[in-house]
Homo-oligomer: A and B are copies of this chain.
Amino acid sequence: MRRLLLAGPDFSLAAVDPHSTPGFDGGKKKGAAALADGGEVLSSLQEKLFAESRAGSEIAVLLVLQGMDTSGKGGIVRHVVGLVDPQGVQHHAFKAPSEEERRHSFLWRIRHQLPRPGMIGVFDRSHYEDVLIHRVRGLSPAEEIEKRYGAIRRFEAEVAASGTRVLKVMLHIGRDEQKARLAERLERKDKYWKYNPGDVDERGYWDQYQEAYQRAVERTSTPEAPWFVVPAERKWYARLAVQRLLTATLEDMQLSWPRATFDVEAEKQRLAAT
């Protein structure tokens, strides 16, 4: 599944069917069961990551989530990240930058939210907004955006070199699916709070957003910080896919339980004497 979702050198967003389920044969029921099955492995890997940091390791994981409105970023956090111990998760949802944040480089606020050692950091939106909405809405000059792709590559390489694995996921849905999901928010009183009239305005720029995603992914999918584009119209598939990507990332780290930093037998005797 991982290889099928990886955005390689010839990546084409237009060629990704948002309703497809690459690398998984079953349907919704099988997918939900597989997600539940995978929870324990992921949870145990997360605990090892955390344990290693207590023993002095500097390693961490950063999961970057991007996607159009309603693509299901929140659902991934709830249903995938929610399977691991909250003590090991550092979640941050990036909103439009504050005035103070705007006075700094676009990466300034991102650096502040990088995961501490042992943590799984989750970014719901990220520095990619600065080459997505900024490009589409002309919030920054074209030359500046051009420079940012390079700045992002250097930044992520530096993050990776410091011991943090970077996993970037774009949740991909189609224009009609977004319409249906927004319509649902207007039908249900318990969903009104998720609806933002601005989302309808952004739909007018759909093609430009797709183009901006294409550009961002092709310019910043690197071996140290690869992009995975996950078809997200079937929510169960997107959740399973991200769970597997996260699990594989942690498995690659070859984590192990830290050795005792004390004399186990001596401690047993000390404890017995109390």
Contact = CB atoms under 8 A, between A and B. Distances in A.
A139 interface: no
Interface in A51-94: 51, 54-55, 74, 77-78, 81-82, 85-87, 89, 91, 93
Contact of A189 (B74, B257, B268): B257
A271 B86 contact: no
Copy total for this chain: 2
A110 interface: no
Interface string A253-272: 00001111110100110111
A153 interface: no
B200 A270 contact: yes
A195 interface: yes
Interface residues of A, number: 43
A190 interface: yes
A204 interface: yes
Contacts of A186: 264, 267-268, 271
A264 B192 contact: yes
A82 B197 CA distance: 32
Given A77-B85, A82-B86, A86-B86, A192 B270 contact: no
Interface of A: 51, 54-55, 74, 77-78, 81-82, 85-87, 89, 91, 93, 122, 124, 179, 182-183, 186, 189-190, 192-195, 197, 200, 203-204, 257-262, 264, 267-268, 270-272, 274
26 contacts: A54-B193, A55-B193, A74-B87, A77-B85, A77-B86, A77-B87, A78-B86, A82-B82, A86-B86, A86-B91, A87-B91, A87-B93, A87-B124, A182-B271, A183-B268, A183-B271, A186-B268, A192-B257, A192-B260, A192-B261, A193-B258, A197-B262, A200-B267, A200-B270, A200-B271, A203-B274
